[in-house]
Structure formats: C-alpha cells, structure tokens
Amino acid sequence: MNRLKTLLIVLSLIFISGTSSFAGRIKLDHVEPMFWWANMTNPKLQVMIHGENISDCRVAIDYPGVAIDRVIKTDNPNYLFVNLLIDKSAKAGSFDILFTDKGKTKATYQYELKQRRAGSADRKGFDSSDVVYLTMPDRFSNGNPDNDTVKGMKDICDRENPNARHGGDIQGIINHLDYLQELGITALWNTPLMEDNMDKVSYHTYAISDFYKIDARYGTNDDYARLSAEAKKRGIKLIIDIVTNHSASVHWWMKDLPSKDWVHTFPEFTNSNHRKSTTNDPYVSKVDYDLNFNGWFDTSMPDLNQKNDLLLTYLIQNTIWWIEFADLGGVRVDTYPYNDKDAMAVYSGAIMTEYPNFNIVGETWLSTAAEISYWQEDALNHDAYNSNLPCVMDFSLLEAMTKALDEKLNWNTGLIRLYNSLAFDYFYPHPENIFTFMENHDTDRMMTVLNGDMRKYKMLMSFLLTTRGIPQLYYGGEILMEGRKSDGDGVMRVDFPGGWEGDQRNAFTKEGRTDRENEAFDFLKKLLNYRKNNPVLHTGKLMHFVPQDETYVYFRSNDEKTIMVIMNNDEDEAKTVDRKRFDEVMSGFTSAQNVMTGEKLNDISTIEVPAKSVMILELK
C-alpha cells in the first residue's frame, strides 16, 4: 500500500513538472501571412501576430538571412506586427519565431519561406491579346456537392432561394475549362472566392471574413491553386477578385480590432454617399469627400482605413501572397474609387514593382472618360495624382453600347455614341489597357437590354471584340442568358443550365443548347478564336470615321493586316458604303475576305451591308 502511495506521488510530480512548462503559454490565434517566399523583390515582410496579450512578449528569430527590423505594438495588447528583413541570401526553409516574456517561452510559430517558381517576378499579366470570361462561381457549376453545406458556414445551400447559396464551386469551374478553351477564352475572372461567412446573401462573397482562406463551400486553397494550374494548361490566365475597401462584419478581427483606427467607425451606422465624383470636384466639401471614402459600403461591410500603414501593408501582402501561391495572371480590385486614393497608389505601385509585367484592373464605375481616366496610371491629372493602377474599366463605353443600337443616328444618339465614347480616349494615357464589356455581375444582362434581338447581339459582340481594349464577357452571355437588375441581384444572377447534376438540360454541350443558343455560341466562338490568333485586333492602330447614314466604319491595322468593320444600324435597309471616303486606309487594297463567312469580295469599290448587321473584312 505504501509502495502504491509512493508511486502515485511520483507520477503526480512528473505530471506537474511536465505541464509546468506549458503554464502561461499564449495561444496564437492568427499569424498572417502564414508563410512567405524567399528572393522577393521587396525584402520587407510584415507578419501580423494575434494572441491574448502577445504584446507583452519579446520576439526572436535565428535564421540565416532573416532579421527582425522592428516590432510594432498597437493600442490593442493582443497584436504584434513583426517586420522582417529577408536578405537575398536567405534560403527557402523553416525557422521558429519565439515569443518570450521574462525569459520564458510563451509561444512558438514555425515560419516557412518557400521557394518561388522560376520566373515568378516576370510573370505576364492579362492584356489586350486576351478575352476575359467572368463567372460568379456560386452560379456557374457545382462540381462537388459534398461542400454545399459545411459545418460552421452559416448561409445554407438552397437553389430555390435566389439570395441563398446555390452550390457552385471551384471544381465546377475546373470541370468546364475545356468549354472555355473551345470558346476561345484566354483569361478567367471569378468574383471573390475568399471566405464570406455572413448569415445570408453571402453567395457573391464580397463581404470577406478571412482574406487568406478560400470559402469552404467553394473548396480549399489548394483547389484554387489547382484551378490556376489547370487553366494555365489551356492557355487561360487566372484573375483574382480582391476587395481592399471593406471586410465582412463577421471577419474574425471585428471581434478584436488590431487598432482603433483599423476600420472607419461612427456613432451609428453611416453609409457611403457613393458620390465618387467628389474625388475630383474642385468645390467639394470635406464632409461629402470623407463620406464617399470612409462611409460603409453596406451594413455588412465595415470600411477599412487604408490610411493605417499596418492595414495597407496587410492588404498589399495579401494580394502578393495570392499571386505567388496560386500563380495568378492578374488582379481585379473591387470598388476602387471608394478606397483612400493615396494609399491605393502605394498598393498598386508595390504590386507592379514586384511584378513589372503584371496587370491590375480597378473597378472604376464612373460615367465619363474624364472621371475614369483619373484612376489610370500616368494620367495628366489636375492635381498631379498618379494612381499606379495600370488598367481601368470602361463604364462609359458600356453606357454607349446599351443605347446606340436602339436609337436612330442623330447629333448625339445612335451609332455616334460609340464614336464619341472612343473619341475621348485622349484622356487615357493607355487606351489599349482598358476593360471593355457589355455586361457583368452588377448590370442588366445585355440580351435583356437588347430585348432578345440576335442581330443587335452580333453587332455589339463584333464591336466589343474588334475595337480597342481588353474585352470581358460574362458567363452565359454566349448562350444569350437574360436578367434584369431591377428584379434583384439574386434573381438576375441565374444558374448556368447544366452546371448542376439533375438540371433539365446541359448548355455546356451543343446537344443541350437550343438552335438559337448554338447560333450565338458558334458566332462568338468563331470570332473569339479569330481574334485570339490575329494580333491586329490586340494592338493594331484604330482609325474610325464619323457615322453617316446609319453606318459606322472603323479599321484596325498593323504591318501584317488591316481589318475593316462596317456596322449598319438601319432597321430595314441595306447600306452601301463607297470606299472613296476611306482611301486613307484602303488605298492599295483591291479585295477582302469576310472573316465570319469566308466569302471573298473581289470588288470593294462599294460594299453592301445588310440591315441591322455588321461585316468584318480582312482587306487584301
């Protein structure tokens, strides 16, 4: 009995001794970025550490080529920002970050420096040689029904509810990359795939609750990297949708902000006035200016304060992390003019310094070239502001396209809208680096705007794919999908037919499409693949002529080819154009070939174009 008692006492002492080293340990709730890469252009790295009273600790690292530059504390004791300097001599590998207090180790994190892919810094971003296809992943295709409902994810899957999750995911996109390749797509932009754990209307994923994690209902981080790799095999670049203006109200940091000024706060909910014109208004009041930039985009979207240097660095590094991790070919930044403009100039500049051949497009939803061009790098702005943002979105041209074909030609109506929109390109320092589009996830579907008119559809698609810029299509546009924004975003953003097992038909296949859908698909496929293989439509000089008699004529030319495009917007009559007016371009050419039909025109002294149609000619 005494021997048993002695044994129990010894075991108790061993247990106490063994556990005492863990007493007072700090749990590290978040370390972001979780890992990084050796041999980056910028040797600086900011690591955000979140854990209870972590600021009481000293930080130490012992790894060749890695040094602590500075440790920053905020007004919240639960955070430390550890700034590292990573020398070019630092090799890929792992090392411990030690957190100690009064000589005792309170926490340890094994940090990894990964090896960069060969040529990563020289990666080529999307450009005018590309055609971008935009999907809303939740509504495109469900490739893995097992992740439709995930424990801990609040918004449930219910295809009967237009505002609920429908189950589309990354695997669904991967399953249809061959479809996109066949169509002629060379770049893929998905609306955000990062976690959005709001309890309702989370399918759009613009209220991000974890910037370093793919939403589990879409898949995993590794699934996203696999999507990029599979797309790349098919000649398709992957563009990530990044949100820098706001996070979700359920983001983990909203329960314990890194600093009091991490987000813009008000005594009560204060919405942005959404008056982006205040950016340039010479008579603007401070209250209106601040409200555009600092007000919340929505009740579920706290406005991030990019003037906070720690936050700004966090956002820059998060974007670079995804570029490196998933081997991306571009970035699209949401709600660009709502962000602090000076901070975003630093943001875009930092990314383009790391990747000089890359591309970033900002969502610049403004009405005129004068307003939109302000946000493109190198613009001759009144205040000398330089955004460092390479690419902007041409909402002005979108507005022109939605109206031009429904009106007769007059001083400011009809086809002159297209001409005038391009005539203001002198505002843009880089007019070739502009997103052009007929529709996206926030607008009416173009076929709804066009009242289902196939003739107008072909005319506008032809214009979009032969004029300057980087054309962007929207999922389902190739099969004439319709949707009206006034019916509600969820209703407008319908599921792609055939993307779900059990759908009545599969429009990803020829057999599953109607004759009318196949007509549109085949038309677009032919034009897209012609464009893909003809650089003249990527970078060729654009010359256009003032519309006359319901016709608009323009040319794209380089040293190898000249393309002539004739649009006839007359509802009933064919139009004949006389080449004499266009001799400054057509001189020396004696014939032409119709790009879409293959028909050869041996006499181009006059060219007849049927009513409400477009003709694309390769001059010979």
How far is Cα 441 from Cα 493, in angstroms, rounded to an integer?
Answer: 7
Indicate which residue of 130, 210, 363, 517 is catalytic. Answer: 363
C-alpha pair distances (Å), 285 with each of 183, 266, 281, 304, 375? 49, 19, 9, 22, 21
Q: Which two tokens stand for residue 390?
A: 């390479």
Exposed, middle or buried: residue 62 (CB in 10 Å: 0-12, 13-18, 19+)?
exposed
How far is Cα 135 from Cα 288, in angstroms, rounded to an integer?
Answer: 34
Distance of CA 133 to the CA centre of its chain: 11
Exposed, middle or buried: residue 357 (CB in 10 Å: 0-12, 13-18, 19+)?
exposed
- Confirm if 553 and 546 have CB atoms less than 8 A apart: no
Q: Is 442 a catalytic residue?
A: no
CA angle, corner 376, sides to 128 and 463, nearest 5?
Answer: 40
- Confirm if 227 and 189 have CB atoms less than 8 A apart: no
Query: Which residues, 6+ apart, have CB-to-CB distance to 70 below 8 Å?
Result: 83
How far is Cα 37 from Cα 114, in angstroms, rounded to an integer?
Answer: 4
Task: Provide the strand spans (E) within 185-276.
Answer: 187-190, 194-195, 210-214, 237-242
The per-residue DSSP string of 546-569 comes to EEETTEEEEEEE-SS-EEEEEEE-
Instruction: Tell me the sheet residues that pair with 303.
Output: 246
Indicate which residue of 130, 334, 354, 394 is catalytic. Answer: 334
* Buried/exposed 18-51: b ≥16 CB within 10 Å, e otherwise: eeeeeeeebebebbbbeebbbbbeebebbbbbbb
Please state whether 334 falls in left (phi above 0), alpha (psi between -120 and 50) or beta: beta
Q: Is 334 a catalytic residue?
A: yes
Q: Which two tokens stand for residue 569?
A: 């917007």
Amino acid at 180: L
The per-residue DSSP string of 30-46 comes to EEESS-EESS-SS-EEE
- Confirm if 585 and 593 have CB atoms less than 8 A apart: no
Return the residue matching tokens 């994690």: 213
Query: Which residues, 6+ apart, have CB-to-CB distance to 139 below 8 Å?
Result: 166, 168, 203, 475, 493, 494, 495, 496, 499
The per-residue DSSP string of 114-176 comes to EPPPTTGGGPPPP-TT--EEEE-GGGT--S-GGGSS-TT--SPB-TTSTTSB----HHHHHHT
> Would you please indicate which residues are annotated as catalytic (active-site) residues?
334, 363
